[in-house]
Structure formats: structure tokens, C-alpha cells
């Protein structure tokens, strides 16, 4: 009881900080003569937000406070803000070092760890078919939405952008034969050292497939090693994310100093583009699937309400996994199906993250002033379908996928840091779609198998 009492006060502090900051900004806009008073009020508001984030121990709170602090520094001290770029570059380096081992570990465990899907037969094939179709639709909706909204156009981060060493040559200088050849690794150590993530992914796929052919006694130790590698790299990511507020503040300070406050308009358009895409995906993909499967819609919405709320509040799909399994079993999906489909979906069916990734990747190109042809955008979607497998269940892990995709297509990674300023807002929406999408998948596959509501749910699932 005692640990829960401070929370309302912390929330009040955070709200007060936001209100004071907004009021001070409005005051300076309406009465420029009060410049010093406005700065003092904004600094006080930032201190309130920092104190609230420290009391709640919330990384999201720290990132939000850092975003405002970076904007403040970029507006009031542009020369100092430009010199802060190095702190953003440090964060980018820390993220890049995670990408190759994490992609390798997640792909190998995703392939070899689901080797038993072959014995499941129709269930495994139908689940994977459903996952890939829905993920492809999500990627396409995100691609069309960002091409229409052009949220990154005008951000003008080309001055910040620096092509990563070892990246592919520009699109105009390579043939399709060279691109195809470049996909396959000649030396895995060289691929990792040069940050050639697509080559690492291809190696991981072959490694995982080969691991499936090895007898269980020899496969199990290697699979446990890859699973351990993945867990360690997720823990490594959590450590790196503790530095994220500094990186976000430095990146936004530099961007605002270079481009002005227009960056906030671009970020607002980006968040709006994602939420409109989520609504479109729900109406154009999830709803027709539920209708075609003849699922009771009202009962389904009631069943997923609690898992979706957990996902929205925590921004982590894995936090909602236990409740999602119980809710779907109570809804009428047999345990043997729900226990296979939902966990498998956490590797292969993250539609919300797919929406986000396609939008954010094109936003990165737009922000840097790089034109991407429709064919190159489709190639990027194919890469996203590959690199996103297995890492979307953990909060902000899609940052690693986005960084890998930017490296593959020679896009600057600096705009990704700017996206982090609104990532917390976007993360809540995409995580809800991830969880609801996996719940829907279990019900659709159960109906497809003719086993929906054919057996009584376990008492503990109904009571939960």
C-alpha cells in the first residue's frame, strides 16, 4: 500500500510541469518582453518533469523531459546545441553495436526454436500464412500512409546525415546483380564488422535452417546459446536505453538549432500518420478477417479489452501475453491452439510494429531529403519482414530493427534519434495492435481448424 501512494502526486507534478512549460512558451510568444521570465518558468517546468520521472523511475518520463530540454537548448542556445551532437552520436554507436548479434540471435531462435511447427502440420502452416499476409498488409498500409502524409519532408536533416561506413553504394551506382550478390555474406566476421545487417540476417537464416537438421542432442545446446545471446542483448539494450534521454536531448537540440521548431510539426505529423494507419489497418484488415471467420465481434472486443489495456499502459507486448492467452481460452479458443498461435505470433505477427517500421523508415529517408523509388520502397518492406522477426515484443526494440534497415539502404541514422522524441506516444498504439492482432490470429486459426468453441475452457481461464 505504501509504495502506491506517491503515484497520484507524481502524476500531478508531471501534469503541472507540462502546463507550466506550455504557459511559459505561450507567454513568450504573446509578450516577447518577458523573455527572461519565460525562460525561468520553462526551466522550472523541466525540473518538475525531471523530478516526476525520477520519482516514478520512468524512462518514458525522462525521454519526454529530455525532448523538451533539447528543444529549449536548441532555441535559446543554438551554438551550444550544435556542439551537443557528439552525445547523440554516442547513442547511435551504442545502438549499432547491438544490431548484428541481436538480429542473429532472434532469427536463429525464431527458426530453430519453432522446428516443432513441422510436426504441428496444418496448424503451423495456417498460422504462418495468416501472419505473413497480415504483416504484409500492415507494411503496405504504412508505406502508403507515409507517402501521402510526407511527414518527414521539409525536416532538412541532410546536414546532419552522414553515410555509415561500409554501407552500400548509392542506388544509382549499383546493378541488381551487384545488389543480389551483396546480400550473401562472404565472411560473417567481415559482415558484422562492416555492419552489413542483411548479410548477417541471411547467415542467421541458413544457420537456423541447418540447426533444424541437427539431432536434438546437438541442437539443444546451440539453441540455448542463441537464446541466451538474445536475452543478453535485450538486457544490453535496456542498459543502452538508460542513455536514451541524453541522446534524444542532444539530437533534438542539434536539429532545432539547425532547422528551427518546425521539427515538432514533422514529429506531430509522424505520430498522426501512425495512428491513422492503425485505424485503417483495423478497418481494412482486422475487421474483414474477423467477419470472414464469423467471429462474435462484441465478445471478442470484450475479451481483448484487458490485454489491450495492459499493452497500452506498458508499451510491451510481452507484458500482456499471460492475460491474452487466458482471455482467448475463455473466448473459446482451445488451449492447444492458443498456446501455439499467440507465442508464435510474438515472433512472426507484429502488425503494429510493421506499421511503425514502414512509416519510420520512409520518414527517415524523407527527413534526409533522399528520394526512394517505389521499387526500392518495396525492397525495403521485404527487408523489414525479415529483420523484424522476433524483436518486437520488447519495448523500443524496434529501434534496433529500424537502425538495421537504415544501414542496409544507406539511410542516415540520425533522424531515428529525432523519432525517439515521440516514440513513447507511438509505441502505445502499435503495441495494442500487436496484442489484439495475435489474439485475433488465435481465434481465426481455431475457426479455420473447425475447433472454435468446441471444448470447454479451463476454469482458471474463465475466472481470470
pLDDT at 177: 73
pLDDT at 296: 92
pLDDT at 173: 41
pLDDT over threshold 80, residue 153:
yes
pLDDT at 179: 65
Taking residues 5-18, what's their average pLDDT? Answer: 69
pLDDT at 117: 47
At 185, list the grid cell. Answer: 555474406
Cα–Cα distance measured from residue 241 to residue 94, given in angstroms and rounded to the nearest whole number: 9
More confident residue, 183 or 4: 183
Cα–Cα distance measured from residue 72 to residue 46, given in angstroms and rounded to the nearest whole number: 10
pLDDT at 459: 47
pLDDT tens by residue, 397-406: 677 778 878 8
pLDDT over threshold 70, residue 395:
no
* Residue 285 DSSP class: I
Among 134-148, 197-211, 396-410, whose mean pLDDT is lowest?
396-410
Q: How confident is the model at residue 444 (pLDDT cuts 50, 70, 90)?
A: very high
DSSP 136-191: HHHHHHHHHHHHHH-TTTT---TTT--PPTTPPPPGGG--HHHHHHHHS-S-HHHH
More confident residue, 199 or 221: 221
CA dihedral 137, 143, 149, 154 (to 10 degrees): 160
pLDDT over threshold 60, residue 116:
no
pLDDT over threshold 70, residue 174:
no
Among 11-15, 128-132, 440-444, 449-453, whose mean pLDDT is lowest?
11-15
- Domains for the chain: give ranges and CATH numbers: 2-83 (no CATH), 116-182+261-463 (1.10.3860.10)
pLDDT over threshold 50, residue 135:
yes
Kindly give, in sequence order, each residue whose CB lies less than 8 Å from that of residue 214, ignoring residues fewer than 6 positions away: 222
What's this model's pTM, rounded to 2 decimal places? 0.68
Among 36-45, 208-217, 222-231, 381-390, whose mean pLDDT is lowest?
381-390
pLDDT at 221: 93
pLDDT over threshold 60, residue 390:
no
Coil vs helix vs strand at 48: helix
Across 256-294, b (16+ Cβ under 10 Å) vs e yields bbbbeeebbebbebbbebbbebbebbbeebbeebbeebe
* Residue 394 DSSP class: S
DSSP alpha helices (H): ranges in 31-162? 35-56, 59-76, 78-83, 85-112, 117-120, 122-149
Share of the chain above pLDDT 70, in %: 83
Cα–Cα distance measured from residue 138 to residue 140, given in angstroms and rounded to the nearest whole number: 5
Cα–Cα distance measured from residue 334 to residue 221, given in angstroms and rounded to the nearest whole number: 32
Q: How confident is the model at residue 172 (pLDDT cuts 50, 70, 90)?
A: very low
Which of 229, 213, 266 minimizes the C-alpha distance to 102? 229
Mean pLDDT comparison of 112-121, 131-140, 337-346, highest-scoring range? 131-140
Mean pLDDT of the chain: 79
Whole-angstrom Cα Rg for the chain:
23
pLDDT tens by residue, 287-309: 999 999 999 999 999 999 888 88
pLDDT tens by residue, 60-77: 778 888 888 888 888 888
pLDDT tens by residue, 82-113: 888 888 888 878 877 887 888 788 778 767 76
Cβ atoms within 10 Å, residue 459: 9
Q: How confident is the model at residue 175 (pLDDT cuts 50, 70, 90)?
A: low
CA dihedral 401, 406, 408, 411 (to 10 degrees): 180
Taking residues 322-344, what's their average pLDDT? Answer: 82
pLDDT at 114: 58
pLDDT at 162: 44
Cα–Cα distance measured from residue 32 to residue 450, given in angstroms and rounded to the nearest whole number: 69
Q: How confident is the model at residue 259 (pLDDT cuts 50, 70, 90)?
A: low
At 101, list the grid cell. Answer: 548479434
Cα–Cα distance measured from residue 430 to residue 316, given in angstroms and rounded to the nearest whole number: 10
Q: How confident is the model at residue 140 (pLDDT cuts 50, 70, 90)?
A: very high
Cα–Cα distance measured from residue 84 to residue 256, given in angstroms and rounded to the nearest whole number: 12
Kindly give, in sequence order, each residue whose CB lies less than 8 Å from that of residue 415, ignoring residues fewer than 6 positions away: 152, 155, 157, 160, 161, 363, 364, 367, 368
Amino acid at each position: 500500500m505504501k509504495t502506491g501512494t506517491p503515484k497520484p502526486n507524481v502524476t500531478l507534478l508531471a501534469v503541472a510541469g507540462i502546463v507550466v512549460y506550455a504557459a511559459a512558451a505561450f507567454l513568450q510568444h504573446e509578450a516577447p518582453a518577458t523573455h527572461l521570465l519565460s525562460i525561468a518558468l520553462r526551466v522550472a517546468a523541466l525540473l518538475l518533469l525531471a523530478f516526476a520521472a525520477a520519482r516514478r523511475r520512468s524512462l518514458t518520463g525522462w525521454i519526454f523531459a529530455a525532448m523538451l530540454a533539447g528543444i529549449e537548448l536548441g532555441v535559446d542556445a543554438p551554438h551550444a546545441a550544435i556542439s551537443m551532437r557528439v552525445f547523440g552520436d554516442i547513442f547511435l554507436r551504442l545502438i549499432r553495436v547491438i544490431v548484428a548479434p541481436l538480429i542473429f540471435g532472434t532469427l536463429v531462435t525464431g527458426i530453430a526454436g519453432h522446428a516443432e511447427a513441422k510436426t504441428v502440420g496444418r496448424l503451423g502452416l495456417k498460422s504462418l500464412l495468416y501472419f505473413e499476409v497480415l504483416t504484409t498488409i500492415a507494411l503496405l498500409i504504412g508505406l502508403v500512409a507515409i507517402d501521402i502524409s510526407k511527414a518527414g519532408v521539409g525536416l532538412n536533416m541532410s546536414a546532419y546525415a552522414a553515410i555509415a561506413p561500409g554501407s552500400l553504394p548509392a542506388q544509382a551506382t549499383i546493378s541488381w546483380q551487384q545488389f543480389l550478390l551483396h546480400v550473401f555474406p562472404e565472411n560473417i566476421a567481415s559482415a558484422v564488422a562492416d555492419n552489413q545487417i542483411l548479410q548477417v540476417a541471411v547467415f542467421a537464416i541458413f544457420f537456423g535452417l541447418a540447426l533444424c537438421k541437427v539431432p536434438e542432442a546437438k541442437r539443444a545446446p546451440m539453441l540455448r546459446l542463441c537464446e541466451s545471446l538474445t536475452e543478453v542483448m535485450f538486457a544490453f539494450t535496456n542498459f543502452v536505453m538508460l542513455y536514451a534521454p541524453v541522446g534524444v536531448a542532444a539530437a533534438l537540440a542539434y536539429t532545432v538549432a539547425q532547422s528551427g521548431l518546425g521539427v515538432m510539426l514533422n514529429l506531430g505529423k509522424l505520430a498522426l500518420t501512425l495512428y491513422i494507419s492503425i485505424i485503417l489497418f483495423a478497418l481494412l484488415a482486422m475487421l474483414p478477417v474477423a467477419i470472414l471467420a464469423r467471429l462474435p465481434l462484441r465478445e471478442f472486443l470484450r475479451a481483448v479489452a484487458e490485454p489491450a489495456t495492459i499493452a497500452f499502459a506498458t508499451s510491451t507486448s510481452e507484458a500482456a501475453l499471460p492475460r491474452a492467452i487466458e482471455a482467448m481460452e475463455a473466448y473459446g479458443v482451445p488451449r492447444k491452439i492458443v498456446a501455439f498461435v499467440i507465442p508464435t505470433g510474438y515472433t512472426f505477427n507484429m502488425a503494429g510494429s510493421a506499421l511503425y517500421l514502414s512509416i519510420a523508415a520512409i520518414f527517415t529517408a524523407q527527413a534526409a531529403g533522399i528520394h526512394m523509388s517505389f521499387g526500392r520502397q518495396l525492397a525495403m518492406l521485404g527487408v523489414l519482414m525479415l529483420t523484424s522477426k522476433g524483436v518486437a515484443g520488447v519495448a523500443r526494440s524496434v529501434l534496433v530493427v529500424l537502425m538495421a534497415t537504415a544501414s542496409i539502404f544507406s539511410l542516415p541514422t540520425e533522424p531515428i534519434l529525432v523519432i525517439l522524441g515521440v516514440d513513447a506516444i507511438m509505441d502505445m498504439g502499435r503495441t495494442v495492435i500487436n496484442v489484439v492482432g495475435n489474439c485475433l490470429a488465435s481465434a481465426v486459426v481455431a475457426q479455420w481448424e473447425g475447433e472454435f468453441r468446441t471444448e470447454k475452457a479451463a476454469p482458471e481461464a474463465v475466472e481470470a
